[in-house]
Structure 1
């Protein structure tokens, strides 16, 4: 198996999909000859031509609107939005049409659309390039939301998203695009949507994270292990649908929960996770749950970015808090 970064694994997944599914088309700004702003489509235009890898104008509403037309006519468009924050001009198309098409037509029209979007901070980009606004899409019925944290997961989850019939928002953490390499299987393989990944087993605290926060959670867990605290770390991978069974099994075992999200605190996914655990595993809890989040302000400029986002130190402090309050 090849050693690939996440962005290389995504490019590999797109190439496999284009080779094996003639109905797959890629479209987005600068994805053709230039290979995309992060080179996630590098070399695909030369191999498949501009009828399969389509450079579009700088018009997100046009990209997503075109994807709808392609999908209802039997194609499987994979649209790239250069940065998640750039998706807002297309928000109406996504919420009013893509998310509702199956229900509105009682399944009469196909609606297989994948929207890829790099998201999150940590790369010293301006604030309009660094948002983590996954909650907008999780809150919208009719959309699936996927966030990988490793190269192999990125490929398997992206191919699963392309294969299935529902629209998917596929969020790619920019911080992890080239953070590390790992072995990625060749050819077509899928990781089922709705299945979390048990990153590390533990007995004392459950740490829930996704995307770029998974390595942060692992670093925090490693720090706590020096004090004899055993942390179980779960990567959600799919934010909608959520793997409730894996989460509840872990919480029932450990009795303590720390949730790490890059998004601002108010009404983030962490709030929903806490509500779900409260409803399904309340009597297993040994201490109040704790969230480690960014602040409820726009992403600040470079000098303050590290203070704004969750860190391994903040995760470790949250773990110590739930352990102390739980009387361990």
Structure 2
């Protein structure tokens, strides 16, 4: 076991897969000699050269389209978005090409493409650099979407995504790159379609993902001292949702709280509520509580920015209200 930062874990995943497979390459803005905005590709150009660690112009639509074309020919491109918000410029390529070509070609083309990079609400990055695009892309057929939350699952998910024959979007949170964790020295993979049960419990199922995992854990530390017994599920897979794991938990706890950084309107939480109601509504003792970010552009002002996202005290209050009869 070796202690690693999350950005190093991601770098190791890329390095290992590039070493094993000559068809894997990375492209994006400032990923070569500069090493990427968060140093995920630091020094890889020295080992693999400028044609496999490919610096691109500031033209997301062009280089994302180029990556999709490369995937159609049998290569395995990894697109790094300097900030995931910028990939809105490539929305057409991702939706109309990456997501659809396998289907519209009658299966003649596979699109083994990974799109990854930083997103989420940082610390005063402004509205255009604080967007959460997971809900934007969730509605697109043909995509797989995952969100890493620890160095361990970041590395395992990226390795699995690189080897998958479908387009995969990996969301990394801008505030989690400096997390540290002991990682196995041997090779491992994390499945792209499974949630993680972070903590088992009986009183309430708290479903979350990405950075909010740590707000939930902080809240649960307080709740356990008060006698509550929450179960924590980190979704990891945002598309497809691991509804089997979620249903098994709901059958046990009969209460659900969803904690997300995504916006409330049309967010991941909204889809979760729909699927839970479709599959196990009769198991619920109370309506599902959804704790989501405010439906406004993220303010630059630090205090206003904090007010737009969910904090541990809100999770604690919600559990107390929902589970008052169970303690």
- Which residue does the alignment assign to 1:140? 140
Would the aligned equivalents of 1:147 and 1:170 in 2 still touch at CA under 8 Å?
A: yes
Q: Is the 8 A contact 2:260 2:292 kept in 1?
A: yes
Supply the distance in 2 between the matched residues of 1:12 and 1:124 (Cα, whole angstroms).
29
User: How far off is 1:306 after superposition?
Assistant: 1.3
The answer for the alignment partner of 1:18 in structure 2 is: 18
Q: Distance in 1 between matches of 2:58 and 2:209?
A: 30
Instruction: Specify the SS of the correspondent of 1:4.
Output: strand
| CA distance in 2: counterparts of 1:287 and 1:29, whole angstroms | 48
Which range moved further: 182-191 or 25-34?
182-191
Q: TM-score, normalised by structure 2?
A: 0.97
Q: How far off its partner does 1:97 sit?
A: 0.7
State whether residues 146 and 240 of structure 1, in contact with CA within 8 Å, keep that contact through their aligned partners in structure 2. yes
- Counterpart in the other structure of 1:131: 131
Alignment of 1:85-104 (within 5 A): 85-104=85-104
Hey, what's the Cα distance between the residues in 1 that align with 2:186 and 2:86? 31
Secondary structure of the structure 1 residue equivalent to 2:299:
coil
Correspondence for 2:177: 177
Deviation (angstroms), 1:327? 6.0
Deviation at 1:129, TM superposition (A): 0.9
- State the number of aligned residues: 326
Q: Is contact 2:124-2:299 (8 Å) kept?
A: no
The answer on whether the counterparts of 2:30 and 2:55 sit within 8 Å (CA) in structure 1 is yes
Partner of 2:34: 34
**Unpaired segments ≥5 residues, structure 2:** none
Corresponding residue of 2:304? 304
The answer to whether the Cα contact below 8 Å between 1:16 and 1:187 also exists between their aligned partners in 2 is no
Cα pair 2:100 2:142 within 8 Å, conserved: yes
Output one character per residue of 1:122-179: Cα deviation in whole Å (capped at 9) or x when no partner: 332122111112011111110000101000100000000110100011110111111x
RMSD: 1.2
Unaligned runs of 5+ in 1: none
Give me the whole-angstrom Cα distance separating, in 2, the residues matched to 1:287 and 1:23: 51
- C-alpha distance in structure 2 between counterparts of 1:230 and 1:48, whole Å: 50
Does the 8 Å contact 1:287/1:323 carry over to 2? Answer: no
Q: Shift of residue 314 of structure 1?
A: 1.1
- Per the alignment, residue 106 of structure 1 pairs with 106
CA contact (8 A) 1:123 1:174 kept: no
Deviation at 1:187, TM superposition (A): 5.1
Give 3-state SS (helix, strand or coil) of 2:116's partner: strand
Matches of 1:247 and 1:281, distance apart in 2: 10
2:201 partner SS: coil
Secondary structure at 1:110 match in 2: coil
Counterparts of 2:274 and 2:69 in 1: how far apart (Å)?
38
